[in-house]
A and B are shown apart, each in its own frame.
Chain A
């Protein structure tokens, strides 16, 4: 019997715990990195939403923040890092280059990272203003709250 009272309450508690303690792995490559620095630092502080803790290893992070242009040469690296992340994991595409290849429509750039990995939140902008980054983060937290939580004994399928 899916989602009886007990497991939905547990789901909600799990979702609350996960959305306010997102450890992000900054996969930073290009100009959006400068705006990521501004968003992560004191002025626009990403830490107010619990996501300030930067983890530089995919094993300890649950949010892959892909920031900046992803060239074709970097595509396998991004795929490897995404695969090596532990579950549950989410992906934010930060900046126009990750969303759709941005202004670089040529032989060298992957036209959007959803060609390589599944993406949860797309943040447009070249580079997006720090407020847009924080708004994207809030949307991800909203998405975590509404989607059913995946945990060991509950859904084996997805």
Chain B
């Protein structure tokens, strides 16, 4: 066994021992409770539904909500039913009753569970959720696995890395499909389908919108042409279009918001007189404000001098450029200092997750006791 493997084994063993010990003490650790609510929705009358669904029923392979009637009652005691049923089989009712119902599960603090148990030990409204408890432990494992990278690359990190790549790639693909393609492209090109299946409140697309989406579809197909054995070069066209248009757009927006606005904001008077409430000039404040403006204007001009490319940094320009780089360094130092705050807050949030949600060592939100 290598030294590294031994180290990992020791760390792991100590950790598990501590965890078991923690589990024995007090309230234990890492459980998630959920509260059940029943939702029943009455479908609009059948005629309206049918007419709304008519556009889709012929084109869509999936069953429309009004026609399917599979039984999918989930026992309220089964905590695993936090993932109830597929949408196509969600309705529990027959078509005549025209209602559908399901259960929703909301996470509640353990304190509520304790209170509910005290009031009625037989209650089934608030229960331990196994999927979420397992999820919580997985999340804790992932957190530690990523942290372990700080020590050295190791199999735990590799598992976490492989998972995050796979899951997140699919995640963003799905978001792109449901949040961009469906409402924007399908919403413009096949509004009937989208209305009946996804978004009944969809506003009828405008002509211009439809044209632009047909254009987008053509560009998209050109991109995908690459997957075919021949003619892949055509995918350079949509890319060229994107690059060109981006260049054109950004020239305008940057010159407007960065160059002009920033230069205009710098035109400040070098001498400022600050008057207080009584109208008298406050010498000290005026002095500070004037110095601030002088420093600001000098700074902007010197930093710009640093960016000159076609002039050697010698003489006056050289001196200005040097002052400019000093300003830039101060800027960077300040940004660094400010950013540190945010980064530490992030770490604190992860540590709180471990100590509070998982290990139940601390209870800042009074979720488990007062």
Partners in one complex: no
**A residues at B contact (CB < 8 Å):** none
